[in-house]
Structure 1
Amino acid sequence: MKRNIVIAAVTAAALIGGGTATALAITADDEGPARQADTRASDDDAHDDDTDDRGGAPARASVTGVTAPEAIASALRHTAGTVVSAELDDEDDDGGRTVWEVDVLTPDSTWRGVTVDAGTGKVVDAHTENDEDEGTAAARSALKGASVTAADAAKAVAGKAGRVTSVDLDEDGRSPGWEVESHGSDGHDWLVDLRTAKVTPDHDDD
């Protein structure tokens, strides 16, 4: 009798609640206690934190379509000269888009900052950088006799260690060269020789 009453109560609750009710498992023995098991919808939020952080590398390098050599080529088509640095920047003040910031030293020793959209490869800004004047002599001296450009250095590292996120002339080190940062399975800081394009780990930044 008790069993029939419990089943009837469950049926009534299902009708009133629109078909959703708590399922009750009743023992065969009317004298024994009833076991209650809640049926709940799965919580999708439990999976939201299951993110793939392998490598811990910034996502910016994997979403941009324009490589460092391509950004450098675009900047040089706009402004003639020698590229001294190129860096991927996802915190650009102009709309928050991801861009390449490229520094060009022109033949008349003027420093020009050229901004290249990392998605389209188009130049979106160019301006003179007056605060870089004191580095002109050092850059000229380091690049004298060099045969490896910033684009060459980026290509050399990309072939060895994955996507390049920055390349910068190091004129202050014991041996001037290109400092290159990469993102990939072998992400690292690298030094590229200005004359031989030899790639070695940059242990100074470890």
Structure 2
Amino acid sequence: MKRNIVIAVVTAAALVGGGTATALAVGGDDDDSTSVTRTDDDREDRGEDRSDDRDGDGDDDTARAAAPGGVTAAEAITAALKHTPGTAVSAELDDGSWEVDVLAEGGTWHTVRIAPDSGKVLGAQKDDEDDAAEVRAALKGASVTAEDAAKAAAAKGTVVSVDLDDDGDDRGWEAETRASGGDEQEWSVGLTTASVTTDHDDD
């Protein structure tokens, strides 16, 4: 005789590998049943998976907001240049670390990763970029470095990125800051005066 009833019975509680096991018996027919055993470790694994999914789904702004602080953009640039001498062209707090792009002697590009809580070099890699000539042309006659621009923009908030804008006639540094309330603002920093103005392109 077939029964269309689902019976869930807690049949046993035992210690399995240091955790608690719960046995569930689920049946729809007399002759067809399925037994599922779950342990505390399984539950913990599922919780970790959900946490990993949340971490992986965030955008750059979320990653920057979650990153530990302490090391400023200017300090990250200084640390990167000490490791890889050259000209810093950009610095961004991304995926839990500062990433500083350096144009080294000979026109080779390098990305240096800096820990935002200690200032230590986490790693460096050579990049295949071919715009060294354009960058050098944009910086010709400039007296304000990326580090200087980061320091100047810091008066407006916490700097989370600084980058060289070498397009068009209005060349200069672009800096992004975050206020204590979380609001973000982009600024333009001059290549010769370090003057900080609102980036109207952001508007």
TM-score w.r.t. structure 2 length?
0.65
* Residue 183 (structure 2) pairs with residue 192 (structure 1): no
Question: Cα deviations across residues 93-112 of structure 1 (Å, max 9, x unaligned)?
Answer: xxxxx100000001211001
Q: Which residue of 1 aligns with 2:74?
A: 69
Q: Which residue of 1 aligns with 2:7?
A: none
Would you say how many aligned residue pairs link Structure 1 and Structure 2? Answer: 140
**Residues 181 and 143 (structure 1), Cα distance of their counterparts in 2 relative to 1, 3 Å cut:** same
Kindly state the Cα deviation for residue 61 of structure 1 after the two structures are TM-superposed.
Answer: 7.2
**8 Å Cα contact 1:61/1:165 also seen in 2:** no
**8 Å Cα contact 1:83/1:104 also seen in 2:** yes
After TM superposition, list the pairs within 5 Å mapping 1:64-143 onto structure 2.
Answer: 64-90=69-95, 98-130=96-128, 132-133=129-130, 135-143=131-139
* Residue 172 (structure 2) pairs with residue 177 (structure 1): yes
Secondary structure of the equivalent of 1:188? strand
Cα RMSD (Å): 1.7
Amino acid at match of 1:122: K
Partners of 2:101 and 2:79 in 1: CA distance: 12
Secondary structure of the equivalent of 2:105? coil
Choose between structure 1 and 2: higher strand proportion: 2
Secondary structure of the equivalent of 1:126? strand
Q: Which residue of 2 aligns with 1:163?
A: 158
Question: Cα deviations across residues 174-194 of structure 1 (Å, max 9, x unaligned)?
Answer: 211000000015741000000
Question: Cα deviations across residues 89-146 of structure 1 (Å, max 9, x unaligned)?
Answer: 12xxxxxxx100000001211001101111111111111101x21x211100010110
* Structure 1 unaligned regions, length at least 5: 1-56, 91-97
TM-score w.r.t. structure 1 length?
0.64
Partners of 1:173 and 1:66 in 2: CA distance: 32
Q: Which residue of 2 aligns with 1:31?
A: none
Secondary structure of the equivalent of 1:63? coil
What's the % identity of the aligned pairs? 57
After TM superposition, list the pairs within 5 Å mapping 1:3-82 onto structure 2.
Answer: 60=65, 63-82=68-87
**8 Å Cα contact 1:105/1:111 also seen in 2:** yes
Partners of 2:75 and 2:200 in 1: CA distance: 27
Specify which structure has the bigger relative contact order, considering alpha-carbon pairs within 8 angstroms and separated by 6 or more residues: 1
**8 Å Cα contact 1:81/1:107 also seen in 2:** yes
Secondary structure of the equivalent of 1:178? strand
